[in-house]
Structure 1
Amino acid sequence: MSVTPELHGNWRVYRYQTIDSTNLEALRLARREALAWTAVRADTQTGGRGRLGRSWSDTPGGSLLLTALVDRPRGLEALLAPAMAMACAEALETMGAPQIAVKWPNDLLLAGRKIKGVLTEGPAEGLFAVGIGVNANGRAADLPEELQGRATFVSEQLGREVDLDLLADGLLECFERHHHALLTGRPGPVVEALRARDCLTGREVSVRSGGDTIEGIAEGWTDDGRLAIIDRAGNRVVLDAGEVTLS
């Protein structure tokens, strides 16, 4: 399907009603055109994917499904997904949402429940696809059974529907700022913003990483986007990836 991109600030945005995956389409565009500052949006996906090989289901017309195609911030790739999460939190708060917490590596929690997923893929022609799916408008009661009590919709917390176009524009504007900081080797502002929203530091956590489970006290975000933990033996462990639960 041929789609003409629309200009939104510095971004060329390709908009689809239905697509297999915004990330996959962004990677296809990267291989075909190799242009950064490209974004892909869809009203619904037939093959949405999340972290750790999981599927990601959306609410047709009620979820913001968007992927940004950006240049590689060498050495700071691990901060791309958290930067996208931070951009989403900032955009939602300008629209009236209460303060949103960040849970490493890139979860956003509103009223203690997850509202979005982020998946980073690449590089393709030197570009990375950073995709996000936001539970914007819907009812938590309609979420899959495995997400009951763990996820929610922004609209339920706001008491009104979220304008998806306004959210998309605000998110891209905020992400552009964070990505520029990473691209120019200045991760400090991004990391400090993440630390200010962090909900794990000082708390007892259990992290599944690879085939291991590590338990201890979360020390917080490192300067390059990893998670530091003081384990039960008193050792400082730094993790690149993992699934965190509060003990």
Structure 2
Amino acid sequence: MAMRPILTSRVGFLSIMCGEPASGDEVDDIQLSGIIQSGRFHCPTTGSIAMEYDFQRIASMLSPSGKFRAERIFFFDEVDSTNAWMLRQQEVDGLCCIANHQVAGKGSRGKTWTDAPGGSILMSMGWEVDVDRCCGVSLVAGLAVIGALKETGVGGIRLKWPNDILADGRKLGGILVEKSGSKLVVGLGLNVNLQQPSMHGVDQPWTDLSSIGAGCDGDVLVSRLLRNMGDMITDCVTGGFAGYAESWNAADAFAGLPVQVLSGREAISGIERGVDRTGALRIESDAGIRTVHAGDVSLRRMEPFRE
């Protein structure tokens, strides 16, 4: 009989990040061993009350027979970054990390990921695989997020190669894939309800679920994200990206638009023609079709966003 995942609250780590010990009043209804029933985290330094999660409810909605077995799920009030925490662990296969706030969140191309305490879903998942054979993982993760949002009543979400999730042309979330040895860690930041002052300094248009009128059950959304990302990424790392190429191209926000791709010191301009069976971006110019592989790449559209 398959076991349900164990969900753990790392209150000791929370205390270190907050700068002072957590008292019993600051952690409600949390069992420090076994399955957590429910909880609300309070950071004594910031005074913020973060999202409430019904941990038992989340666990009950995860299928023990899925392709990805979420054997251990750790919840933090604050962490440096969910990806960084995962990469510090000895083993990451079946490991998940969810946080209400990151004090050193990481975005793509070495950028900082900005969030407000309790305003985003911040999570990472881990696999032990042959990382050299993994391709298109960030693209499949984006499709999994679209599916999870659609299941909770949020439609119209599009993708920007290689790792952005868009709503109305604005950034709703992002994917960060990191590899170390045999460890594959996939992180997600999804904006739920952010306040304008907390996003000061963000250098691109952004939005959140609240701003687009998408009210959703946080427990249900988190469970759908864990399930969809777990199953689809597992399928991708074992069977390849090719089977997802058509679906990704259907969700491509820049298909058929003139774009400029910045890869290192090189700027590649042309018409964006979606991805190939490996997940590489296809750019059409007078010289023909050129493919660009994921890496240190920026994508900038050169005309108004097409609805």
Normalized against structure 1, the TM-score is what? 0.88
2:298 maps to 1:238: no
**TM-superposed deviation, 1:87:** 1.2
SS of match in other structure, 1:116: strand
Tell me the residue number matched to 2:84.
24
Tell me the residue number matched to 2:114.
57
Tell me the residue number matched to 1:138.
194
- Work out the CA distance in 2 between the residues paired with 1:58 and 1:68: 19
- Which residues of structure 1 form unaligned runs of 5+? none
**Can you list the C-alpha shifts for 1:117-153, whole angstroms capped at 9, x where unaligned?**
21111124x12111111111234575324446x1101
2:212 maps to 1:153: no
- Which residues of structure 2 form unaligned runs of 5+? 1-11, 14-31, 36-58, 64-68, 303-307
Name the % identity: 28
**Can you list the C-alpha shifts for 1:193-221, whole angstroms capped at 9, x where unaligned?**
21111122211111111101111111211
- Which structure's CA Rg is the greater one? 2
Q: Which amino acid aligns with 1:52?
A: R
- Work out the CA distance in 1 between the residues paired with 2:76 and 2:86: 12
2:256 maps to 1:202: yes
Q: CA RMSD in A?
A: 2.1
Q: 2:148 aligns with which of 81, 87, 91?
A: 91
Q: Which amino acid aligns with 2:183?
A: L
- Work out the CA distance in 1 between the residues paired with 2:290 and 2:97: 37
Does the 8 Å contact 2:116/2:198 carry over to 1? Answer: no
Does the 8 Å contact 1:87/1:172 carry over to 2? Answer: no
Tell me the residue number matched to 1:229.
283
Q: Which amino acid aligns with 2:209?
A: V
Change over 3 Å in CA distance of 1:20–1:100 after alignment to 2:
same
Structure number with the bigger relative contact order (C-alpha 8 A, sep ≥ 6) is: 1
Structure with greater proportional strand content: 1
- Work out the CA distance in 2 between the residues paired with 1:244 and 1:75: 24
Q: Counterparts of 1:12-51 in structure 2 under 5 Å?
A: 12-29=72-89, 32=90, 34-51=91-108
